[in-house]
Structure 1
Amino acid sequence: MKLQVIAKNNVEVSETIEAYVEKKIGKLSRYLPNIREGKVEISREGAKLPEQRFTVQVTLDSRGVLIRAQEKSKDIRTAIDKVA
């Protein structure tokens, strides 16, 4: 699966976070073998609640069928765990 990680709203995605995303999202190919490509958007929002500071949105393309999931958390890794 080809995976693209996009950082938005003043978020810097390190190589460590990018590898973490690839590891977690890559596991989905076991259950959905037809996934061709995926896009992961990581953004920081000015939320009132600190539990909703980071948003991770995953969009997967499986032979023309789009699968999308989004989660918010106070930590990037936690949001990635929730969405995967």
Structure 2
Amino acid sequence: MQLIVHGRNIEITDWIRQYIEKKVGKLERYLPQVQDINAELTYNATRAASDRYTAQLTMWVNGQILRAEESTGDIFASIDAAVDKMYRQIRRLKGRRYKSKRRAAAAASAEAEMAATLVEEIAGEEEEEEVRHIVRRKQFTLQPMDEEEAIEQMELLGHDFFVFFNPDTDSVNILYRRKDGHYGLLQPLLA
């Protein structure tokens, strides 16, 4: 791990550098794959007295960047607060990784159980074909309109498709939104 300490409007004394190394060194225990840590300390005389010292920590871990910034009236309190914030970010980062591994393992075991249950059901029973039913019927009046009006009407309704009577072709057309954002037009023909 490489620790770089910068100071803006503040002199970085050996005492401050050792304090940062001690505090940030503890972070390495939780993430041993840390590549670089950059600590920037700033003194701003124009701010309120309670926000004069700012500590900003930036950490690079396997291509991800973690960043924490805190401002207080004391440089050491700012460092402590920034390190605490970084601890929380590390906990979230590691928690996400652990939870996703747990979820993947749970999903794999659930899939295995479900597959075993399916095999048992298929072997134990005769194959039954699932009968699908129409659960809703809807009637509507076809309005004669051209393609541009149909696009406008479909957008106003917020639908992915629209059925209309096209007087130019003297037939019922179906307008639909494609995945690429453009539109498609179905023009059915009677056989």
Letter in 2 for 1:77: F
Identity %: 37
Residue 21, structure 1, aligned to residue 17, structure 2: no
In the alignment, what sits opposite 1:79? 78
Greater than 6 Å deviation, 4+ residue runs: none
The alpha carbon displacement at 1:32 in A equals: 1.3
In the alignment, what sits opposite 1:42? 41
The alpha carbon displacement at 1:3 in A equals: 0.1
* Larger Rg, first or second structure (1 or 2): 2
Q: Deviations over 1:13-65 (max 9, x none)?
A: 10110010010011001111111110000001121x21100000000010111
Query: Normalising by structure 1, what TM-score?
Result: 0.93
Residue 27 of structure 1: SS of its match in structure 2?
Answer: helix
The alpha carbon displacement at 1:83 in A equals: 0.8
In the alignment, what sits opposite 2:52? 53
The whole-number CA distance in structure 2 between the counterparts of 1:44 and 1:80 is 13
Structure 2 segments unaligned to the other structure (5+ residues): 84-191
Residue 68 of structure 1: SS of its match in structure 2?
Answer: strand
Residue 3, structure 1, aligned to residue 3, structure 2: yes
Query: Normalising by structure 2, what TM-score?
Result: 0.42
Residue 40 of structure 1: SS of its match in structure 2?
Answer: strand
Q: Which has the higher helix share?
A: 2
> CA RMSD of the aligned region, Å?
0.7
- Number of equivalences: 82
Residue 66 of structure 1: SS of its match in structure 2?
Answer: strand
The higher-RCO structure (CA 8 Å, 6+ apart) is 1
Letter in 2 for 1:58: L
